[in-house]
Homo-oligomer: A and B are copies of this chain.
Amino acid sequence: MNQQRIDELTAVYRDGLLEDTLPFWIDHSVDREHGGFTVALNRDGSVLDTDKGLWQQGRFSWLLGALYNRAQTLGLADDRRRAEWLALCRHGIEFIDQHGFDPADGRMWFLVTQDGRPLRKRRYAFTESFAAIAYGEYAKATGSDEYAEKARQCYHRMVERFLDPKGIQPKFTDTRPMKSIGSAMITIITAQELRDSIGLEEADEWIDRAIETIARDHMKHDLQVVMETVGPNGEIIDHFDGRTLNPGHAIEAAWFVMIEGNRRNDQQLITMGQTMLDWMWARGWDSQYGGLLYFVDLGGLPVQEYWHDMKFWWPHNEAIIATLLAAQLTGDAKYETMHRQVHDWAYQHFADPEYGDWFGYLHRDGRVSVELKGNLWKGPFHLTFRTSRFHFL
């Protein structure tokens, strides 16, 4: 990849983040009356639903804190903007502190009302992972030991829950135990983030363990596939749930592994990430319409999930990151081609030049399915900052 292309992309990703995504979300999602961030926004930024998803409280706080902490590396010297980012990060952190946790069991809520009254808790510990990285950046920004400790605590609660979800009525019986790649993935990226922000002591150990799980249990070399869901020892489960692949998710995991390989200068890890990317690109890239299919079946059979062939924003963002990273780490021209394919498709179809930011949900052929910009899952997170992370830093 030549310098001109790198400069071009740098501009697209950095400007996209700072001049498009961030203003959209700062203008429309900050709730100055009740605290926190409103997550459900329509195409033009108007509010669709005042309820507050806790995922996005953590993710947006993290983004703001991370920008503040990395401004220098990003070549941003605008102190006024930095001060705003830190203030808004604190705004999110305060809402999480006040309304994010159920005092009865210490677990985090998934959804609360505009003013923070609890609506829903889920079985999973993903909310804790986003709170952990938000607290981590805030601790770094303010030098606060208290917040570093909160970050650690959220992290520990998350990994404990992955290992032993006690006190929670399980979704399935013990008849056919299954595990998803999600817990390993989120363990890697959360540990990576907290290693950077608060120097999480046991990060490497957790990362090693999670990468080993993926390599041993989820990667199937004979089938050239990263399984989304397997048995406890990596058994392939020949049922709908077991056969359903999520290419964008596995491609996201691929870049987590590649950045670890890059950091450790470990060629084996880089190769592992590349392999995951190659396999799941081959399975997920839609040769008919372009873009990445959401779900595909291991054996090409029908998938039970209704939205299997839709195009979601986040797998495209993750694939932009993964292909660009692979291109930079290996110098292999095929990744530059793949990167150009997914970059072009994504910017042609997801971007909304009229109102800013990206659409989240397209039909297979790229037509917009729903015009909203934000909901419980889509916010300013899976966007260009993650793309630009390894690029500038």
Secondary structure class of chain A's binding surface, majority of residues: loop
A176 to chain B, nearest CB (A): 6
Report how many copies the assembly holds: 2
A308 interface hit (Cβ, 8 Å): yes
In the bound complex, do residue A42 and residue B302 qualify as a contact, i.e. CB atoms below 8 Å apart? yes
Binds B, one of A25-33, A131-139, A213-221, A366-374: A366-374
Interface: A173 (CB within 8 A): yes
A interface residues, tally (CB under 8 Å): 39
B113 touches A176 (CB 8 A): yes
A304, B113: Cβ atoms closer than 8 Å: no
- Selected interface stretch from A43-51, A65-73, A249-257, A324-332: A43-51
Q: Which residues of B contact A51 (CB under 8 A)?
A: 239-240
Q: Which residues of B contact A309 (CB under 8 A)?
A: 369
CA A370 – CA B133 in complex, angstroms?
Answer: 39
Q: Are the C-beta atoms of A307 and B306 separated by less than 8 Å?
A: yes
CB distance from A175 to the nearest CB of B (A): 5
A361 contacts partner chain B, Cβ-Cβ < 8 Å: yes
Given contacts A113-B176, A370-B308, contact A301 B48 (CB under 8 A): yes
**A232 to B50 CA separation, bound complex (whole angstroms):** 20
Q: Are A239 and B363 in contact (CB under 8 A)?
A: no
Residues A50 and B120 in contact, CB atoms below 8 Å apart: no
Complex interface: chain B residues within 8 A of A306 (CB): 306-307, 310, 361, 369-370
4 nearest A-B residue pairs (beta carbon): A306-B307, A302-B372, A302-B370, A169-B169
Q: What are some 19 contacts across the A-B interface (CB < 8 A)?
A: A42-B301, A42-B302, A48-B301, A48-B302, A51-B240, A113-B176, A117-B175, A118-B175, A119-B172, A119-B173, A119-B176, A168-B169, A304-B376, A306-B306, A306-B310, A306-B361, A306-B370, A307-B307, A308-B370
Residues of A within 8 A of B (CB): 40, 42-43, 48-51, 113, 117-121, 168-169, 171-173, 175-176, 239-240, 301-304, 306-310, 361, 363, 369-372, 375-376
